[in-house]
Amino acid sequence: MAAIFAACSDAPKAPVNSTEFYGEEFDTTASIHVNSLLASMNGSDSLDIVIDGVIDQTCPHAGCWLNLRLDDGGVLKITTDHVFFVPLEGCEGLKARAKGKAFFEEISVEDQKHYAAEEGKSESEIAAITEPRRHLAFVATGVAISGYVEPEGGAKTGTCNHDHHGDEHNHEGHNHESTEANKEGNH
């Protein structure tokens, strides 16, 4: 029996209550749940706010977005504007807080299809996207993820060779690589 306990004590322990910051660090004590965001907009075109929720998925290619689950089965996509990157995997089901700006925008058919492909949607689901749509967007200046444990051998890295917002936001085309060096500077 002692050998079993000794073997278990040698195993690395995950810091269950640890919080990793990506991008700007911020006060995580005051936030609203993602499901309350729309009501908090209260007729405003935009709102600087800290929201919290459970991660549904992160961008599997570059870590330039994450989705927070909504009670209605949908998600709120939080983008990083390629200023910082979140982990590509291992965040599903973890609690996150995001500081940034919520606003309404129209998303083009092309951008909707791009995101749907990154999210692993089927070809028929992607083909069904035929109209631009207005939606609540969120661009984060920082994200805090609770309980994330980097996989053995390090986190996956990716590249992002596209512009998610086009010219309507005055962004130039992005060609950023997500690397360990980039991530280390943003924790």
Could you read off the pLDDT of 27-82 as tens digits, one per residue?
999 999 999 999 999 989 999 999 999 999 999 989 999 999 999 999 999 999 99
pLDDT digits (tens, 9 = 90+) for 116-125: 998 899 999 9
pLDDT digits (tens, 9 = 90+) for 129-148: 999 999 899 999 999 999 99
Residue 100 has pLDDT above 60, yes or no: yes
Instruction: Please report, in angstroms and rounded to a whole number, the separation of the first and last CA atoms in the chain.
Output: 40
At 119, is the secondary structure helix, strand, or coil? coil
CA dihedral 187, 46, 31, 77 (to 10 degrees): -60
Check if the beta carbon of residue 51 is closer than 8 Å to that of residue 68: yes
In sequence order, which ranges of the chain are alpha helices (DSSP H)?
2-10, 37-41, 109-118, 123-127, 180-184
pLDDT of residue 17: 65
Tell me how crowded residue 51 is: count the other CB atoms within 10 A of its CB: 24
Tokens standing for residue 48: 């600087």
Q: Name all domains of the chain by residue range, CATH numbers in brackets.
A: 14-184 (2.40.50)
- Whole-model pTM: value is 0.71
Which helix (H) or strand (E) segment holds residue 133: the answer is strand 133-146
Quick one: what percent of the chain has pLDDT higher than 70?
73
